[in-house]
Amino acid sequence: MAEAARLAIALAAALLLLAAPPAAAAPEKDRRWSELNAEQQEILVPLEGEWDRLEPAQRVKWIGVAKRYPKMTPVGQKRVQTRMKKWVKLTPEQRKQARENYRRISKVPPEKRGDLQRDWAEYQSLPPQERQRTAPKKKPVTAQ
């Protein structure tokens, strides 16, 4: 019985070791600006000034974003480049909040919402009280 248990553990470990490397692509390495290749520098050029001051984890993330850049549409590429600088200036909490909101907005089925840019413009044109009314509160407001 003990032999069987040991064999099961060894098999599970072997499977894990075999399965892990292909499932997760090798993580990018942290690099200083001068160590980036020409293509990465070209994509990440808006961050050149602050690159070496960024957190190592952030730099690794941006190298990962640069890897996905060629697959984006030209419009998407332009957006990424113009938004980079603003994104790195946000606090980690703000970035977390933005990602959370991105997930929530992405979950709204496209057929139930209009064009997102038009929706955003419409929302911005609402009076401030109206906009604040929709902001999530600590306790959910229920109809009395």
Partner 1 sequence: MNEPQFALRIRQHLNQGARVDARVAAQLRAAREQALARHRSEPEAGLALASNALGRLGGVRGLSLRVLLPLVILGVAFATAVAWQQTQRVAEVEELDAQLLSSDLPIDAYLDQGFAAWLKRRASQ
Q: Which residues bind partner 1 (CB under 8 A)?
A: 6, 9-10, 12-13, 16-17, 20, 23-25, 27, 57, 60-61, 64-65, 67-69, 72-73, 75-77, 79-80, 83-84, 86-87, 90, 94, 97-99, 101-105, 108-109, 112-113, 115-117, 119-120, 123, 131-136
Work out how close the CB of 41 gets to partner 1 at its nearest, in angstroms, rounded to a whole number.
18
Task: State both tokens at 65.
Answer: 């974003």
In the complex, the smallest distance separating the C-beta of residue 23 from partner 1, rounded to whole angstroms, is 7
Q: How far is the CB of 102 from partner 1 (least distance, A)?
A: 5
- Least separation in angstroms between CB 35 and partner 1: 19
CA dist list (Å): 5 to 10, 17, 31, 56, 127: 9, 18, 45, 42, 67
Q: Which is nearer to partner 1, 13 or 48 (CB)?
A: 13
- Residue (of 5, 73, 75, 80) closest to 42 by Cα position: 80
Residues 123/131, Cβ–Cβ less than 8 Å: yes
Choose between 38 and 57: whose C-beta lies nearer to partner 1: 57
For residue 61, CA distances in Å to 30, 47, 49, 73, 122 come to: 9, 13, 17, 20, 33
